[in-house]
Amino acid sequence: MFKKLCESKKIVENIYCIKAGIANMYLYKYNKKYIAIDCGAKKDIVINELAKLNINAKDITHVFLTHSDYDHVAALSLFDQALIYMGHEEEQMINKTTPRFSSFRFNKKLECESYTLLLDQEELTIENVVIKAVATPGHTPGSMSYLFNNLYLFVGDALAIKKGEVTTFTKLFVMDMDTHINSIKKINNIRRAKVVFTAHYGYLIKW
């Protein structure tokens, strides 16, 4: 089952999609609080979409960034009380050690006081939610996917879904295509994942 960029709504169980401009961000609900995966490009849009679902930004306690492109991080300051996480290798994009593109300004300074860098296969537990960080570089060097409770995989721009099939992201925006392809193979080997959620291509229910 394949869906394109989805409208703001509850998708399955305690997972919500937020149409945050040109990309989707996602929320995982736990005990009346929320964990966000990415945070959207425009604050006003994110505020309006959260309001449609009666969700208060202050109830978002953690934000897991798949990577640092502006359409995934620009609204981060809305969640000023949340703990922020991202892939260890993505810091080079934040501090400009590695440029995104010579002619595009895709990176934006993170509007937060601090963040935690995660390594591949590192696990965190937030109450009853177990989150595994899965390094999926290629789109950017530090692109990170997140597997929630061994069932729900949030991949950001680590892959695309077209006509119900997993495929590569738009070549123009991939920094290292060979690495990107290897990351897609790695994702495909995560057999337990029930649903794969992307930022620009909706989601795929695997079984």
Q: How far is CA 45 from CA 11, 54, 115, in A?
A: 19, 14, 24
Q: Among positive and negative, which fits the CA dihedral 18, 19, 20, 23? A: positive
Model pLDDT, residue 9: 96
Model pLDDT, residue 163: 87
- Confidence bin at 3 (pLDDT 50/70/90): low
Measure the CA–CA gap between 55 and 93, rounded to whole angstroms: 31
Cβ neighbours of residue 132 closer than 8 Å, sequence gap 6 or more: 121, 122, 123, 146, 147, 150
Name the strands in the sheet holding 144-148, side by side, starting at the edge strand that comes first in the sequence: 123-126, 129-135, 144-148, 152-156, 195-198, 203-205
DSSP string, 59-87: GEEEEE-S--BHHHHTTGGGGTTSEEEEE
Q: Among positive and negative, which fits the CA dihedral 27, 30, 34, 37? A: negative
Question: How many residues comprise the chain?
Answer: 207
- Confidence bin at 103 (pLDDT 50/70/90): very low
Could you report the per-residue pLDDT of 122-159, keeping only the tens digit for each?
999 999 999 999 999 999 999 999 999 999 999 999 99
Measure the CA–CA gap between 101 and 78, rounded to whole angstroms: 27
Domains of the chain: 9-205 (3.60.15.10)
Could you report the per-residue pLDDT of 16-68, keeping only the tens digit for each?
999 998 999 999 999 999 999 999 988 999 999 999 999 999 999 999 999 99
**3-state class percentages of the chain: helix first, strand second, coil last, to nearest 5:** 20, 35, 45
Could you report the per-residue pLDDT of 169-206, keeping only the tens digit for each?
999 999 999 999 999 999 999 988 999 999 999 999 87
Model pLDDT, residue 26: 98
For 122, the token pair is 């590192």
Do 177 and 167 contact (CB within 8 A), yes or no?
no
pTM, full prediction = 0.94
